[in-house]
């Protein structure tokens, strides 16, 4: 496995010699499932063993499928106080050098000692090259993708949290195109955990003007990776239909962290390399205008969308008005930033309603999934193709025998049916 922590200066013979001097010990079969997968000795501490805590993954002693996934204990909570196989054809910017920048050999890890580092492997470097030439071009609008392609890896040379995040997103892209395997899943969990944790540490420190573009780059990649990191493989496993509804809403809460970084770094400022690619977000707090007619007539009463509706008085206001403005649009590389306003600037009240599985809030999310469900945006598609049908199932039950409300599901159900049909072809 490539995710080994090494101490600089330790040679392989020395490590081999030390391993030969270890005392024999009795094998235990009571270790957690993830340590068994990784073939490491589990300390068997409960509820979570130290090996899983340090590796940044969930820990389970239950029989069955182990939960080798990212542990969000270090999730993207900003503190400013202190699979269908799709192919993509994007060309590389010919003016860019093909060679990678001179990366350091070792990366720090979250919570590690000064001499505890992660060594970049040849596979890691190939993934970094793949990110530069292909993977990055699939995230966000074309203008932003070109900026990321030009600057992200250069930013990461002196910002190791960004290198971890780039590797995590690239691994997600790989697992979307091919069947995931245990090594990739473990490497993804490792890099995502340590990237986000180190990013949080960076955000807790004073921010210099030179750091602002680096932080916005990291926030954008973190949000995309969190969006694409879907645990469920079928509708019944989603947070919508599971007994624990808050379980997989972390991706949406992390977009709130992105909004905090947006306010902190202001990527639209003139000197930012992102200034030309960040001016397409919509104002989610705007008053209701004629665009409200783009929504089904029932929505006006359902969400109290009158001239008195504001983001302060109506928790549905921001999501509903953004949805109204994107309904006539096709979701593509030119318009995606407008669509991302829906999840990129979440209202805290709306988030709470989603956590409570409020049917009206879920209906808005369902329409948004139905509008964005194109394989071009693979990181949205991965979640939408699973959660969209689950939302329809939940809402059919919630709306009962009300034909008017059930009729509102015709649009998203048709969109998901088309997507699933295309996926099976």
Say if residue 198 is in the same domain as residue 299. Answer: no
Distance CA 56, CA 58 (A): 7
Q: What is the pLDDT of residue 112?
A: 66
Q: What is the pLDDT of residue 424?
A: 62
Mean of pLDDT values over 256-271: 85
Pull the structure tokens for residue 336.
């995606």
pLDDT category of residue 407 using cuts at 50, 70 and 90: very high
Closest C-alpha to 192, from 225, 231, 156: 225
Range of the domain at 338: 290-424
Write the pLDDT tens digit of every residue in 113-156: 666 788 889 899 889 888 877 766 667 667 777 788 888 888 88
Write the pLDDT tens digit of every residue in 77-87: 444 333 333 33
Say if residue 332 is in the same domain as residue 223. Answer: no
| Beta strand 106-108 pairing with 117-119 | antiparallel
Distance CA 132, CA 150 (A): 8
User: Which one is predicted more confidently, 268 or 393?
Assistant: 393
User: Which one is predicted more confidently, 106 or 2?
Assistant: 106
Residue 224, domain member (yes or no): yes
Say if residue 92 is in the same domain as residue 223. Answer: yes
Residue 62, domain member (yes or no): yes
Distance CA 369, CA 384 (A): 6
Domain end marker among 229, 251, 267: 229
Do 68 and 34 touch, CB atoms closer than 8 A? yes
Mean of pLDDT values over 367-388: 88
Cα–Cα distances in angstroms (integers) from residue 274 to residues 68, 105, 115, 153, in the given order: 35, 29, 35, 15
pLDDT at 164 over 90: yes
Say if residue 167 is in the same domain as residue 306. Answer: no
Distance CA 385, CA 382 (A): 6
User: Which one is predicted more confidently, 353 or 70?
Assistant: 353
% of the chain surpassing 70 pLDDT = 76
Q: What is the pLDDT of residue 37?
A: 61
Cα–Cα distances in angstroms (integers) from residue 223 to residues 140, 289, 352, 382, in the given order: 11, 30, 19, 14
Write the pLDDT tens digit of every residue in 191-243: 999 999 999 999 888 989 989 999 999 998 888 888 888 878 888 888 898 87
Q: What is the pLDDT of residue 402?
A: 93
Say if residue 155 is in the same domain as residue 303. Answer: no
Do 135 and 148 touch, CB atoms closer than 8 A? no
Q: Please indicate, yes or no, whether the overall pTM of this predicted structure exceeds 0.75.
A: no
Say if residue 144 is in the same domain as residue 214. Answer: yes
Residue 177, domain member (yes or no): yes
Say if residue 150 is in the same domain as residue 5. Answer: yes
In total, how many domains does the chain have?
2
pLDDT at 102 over 70: yes
Say if residue 62 is in the same domain as residue 194. Answer: yes
Residue 257, domain member (yes or no): no
Q: What is the pLDDT of residue 95?
A: 42
Q: What is the pLDDT of residue 287?
A: 77
pLDDT at 162 over 90: yes
The region of weakest confidence among 12-21, 208-217, 295-304, 391-400 is: 12-21
Cα–Cα distances in angstroms (integers) from residue 331 to residues 284, 319, 339, 368, 411, in the given order: 18, 16, 7, 10, 16
Say if residue 144 is in the same domain as residue 220. Answer: yes
pLDDT category of residue 61 using cuts at 50, 70 and 90: confident
Residue 119, domain member (yes or no): yes
Residue with tokens 């245990």: 182
Residue 22, domain member (yes or no): no
* Long-range CB contacts (within 8 A, 24+) of 182-185: 182/37, 182/68, 183/1, 183/2, 185/68, 185/69
Mean of pLDDT values over 287-291: 79
Say if residue 175 is in the same domain as residue 306. Answer: no
Residue 256, domain member (yes or no): no
Residue 277, domain member (yes or no): no
User: Which one is predicted more confidently, 173 or 23?
Assistant: 173
Domain end marker among 179, 205, 229: 229
CA 361 from chain centre, in angstroms, equals 21
Domain end marker among 229, 253, 278: 229
pLDDT category of residue 371 using cuts at 50, 70 and 90: very high
Strand order in the sheet with 117-119: 5-6, 117-119, 106-108
- Three-state SS for the chain is CCCCEECCCCCHHHHHHHHHCCCCCCCCCCCCHHHHHHCCCCCCCCCCCHHHHHHCECCCCCCCCCCCCECHHHCCCCCCCCCCCCCCCCCCCCCCCCCCCCCCCEEECCCCCCCCEEECCHHHHHHHHHHHHCHHHHCCCHHHHHHHHHHHHHHHCCCHHHHHHHHHHHHHHHHHHCCCCHHHHHHHHHHHHHHHHHHHHHHCCCCCHHHHHHHHHHHHHHHHHHHHCCCCCCHHHCCCCCCCCCCCCHHHHHHHHHHHHHHHHCCCCCCCCCCCCCCCCCCCCCCCCHHHHHCCHHHHHHCCCCCCCCCCCCCCHHHHHHHHHHCCCCCCCCCHHHHHHHHHCCCHHHHHHHHCCCHHHHHHHHHHHHHHCCCCCHHHHHHHHHHHHHHHHHHHHHHCCCHHHHHCCHHHHHHHHHHHHHHHC
Say if residue 326 is in the same domain as residue 216. Answer: no
Say if residue 329 is in the same domain as residue 201. Answer: no
Cα–Cα distances in angstroms (integers) from residue 217 to residues 121, 196, 350, 370, in the given order: 24, 13, 26, 28
């Amino acid at each position: 496995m490539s995710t080994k922590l090494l101490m600089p200066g330790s040679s392989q013979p020395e490590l081999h010699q030390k391993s030969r001097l270890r005392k024999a010990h009795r094998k235990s079969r009571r270790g957690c499932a993830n340590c068994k997968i990784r073939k490491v000795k589990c300390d068997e501490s409960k509820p979570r063993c130290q090996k899983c805590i340090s590796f940044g993954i969930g820990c389970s002693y239950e029989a069955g499928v182990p939960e080798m996934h990212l542990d969000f204990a270090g999730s993207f909570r900003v503190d400013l106080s202190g699979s269908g196989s799709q192919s993509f054809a994007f060309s590389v910017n010919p003016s860019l050098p093909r060679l990678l920048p001179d990366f350091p050999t070792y990366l720090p890890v979250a919570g590690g000692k000064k001499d505890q580092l992660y060594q970049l492997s040849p596979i890691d470097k190939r993934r970094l090259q793949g990110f530069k030439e292909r993977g990055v071009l699939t995230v966000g609008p074309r203008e932003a993708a070109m900026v990321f392609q030009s600057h992200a890896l250069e930013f990461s040379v002196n910002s190791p949290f960004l290198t971890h995040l780039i590797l995590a997103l690239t691994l997600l892209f790989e697992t979307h195109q091919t069947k995931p395997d245990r090594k990739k899943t473990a490497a993804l969990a490792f890099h995502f955990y340590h990237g986000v944790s180190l990013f949080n540490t960076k955000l807790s420190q004073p921010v210099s003007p030179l750091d602002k573009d680096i932080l916005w780059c990291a926030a954008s990649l973190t949000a995309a990776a969190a969006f694409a990191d879907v645990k469920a493989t079928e509708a019944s496993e989603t947070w919508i239909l599971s007994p624990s509804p808050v379980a997989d809403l972390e991706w949406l809460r992390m977009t709130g962290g992105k909004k905090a970084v947006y306010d902190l770094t202001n990527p639209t400022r003139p000197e930012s390399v992102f200034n030309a690619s960040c001016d397409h977000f919509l104002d989610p707090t705007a008053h209701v205008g004629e665009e409200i007619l783009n929504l089904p007539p029932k929505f006006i009463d359902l969400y109290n969308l009158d001239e008195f509706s504001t983001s302060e008085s109506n928790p549905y206001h921001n999501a509903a008005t953004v949805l109204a403005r994107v309904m006539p649009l096709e979701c593509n590389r030119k318009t995606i930033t407008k669509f991302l306003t829906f999840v990129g600037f979440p209202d805290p009240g709306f988030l709470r309603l989603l956590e409570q599985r409020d049917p009206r809030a879920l209906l808005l999310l369902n329409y948004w999934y139905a509008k964005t469900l194109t394989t071009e945006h693979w990181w949205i598609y991965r979640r939408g193709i699973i959660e969209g049908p689950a939302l329809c199932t939940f809402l059919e039950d919630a709306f009962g025998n009300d034909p008017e409300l059930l009729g509102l599901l015709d649009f998203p159900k048709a969109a998901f049916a088309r997507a699933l049909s295309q996926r099976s072809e």
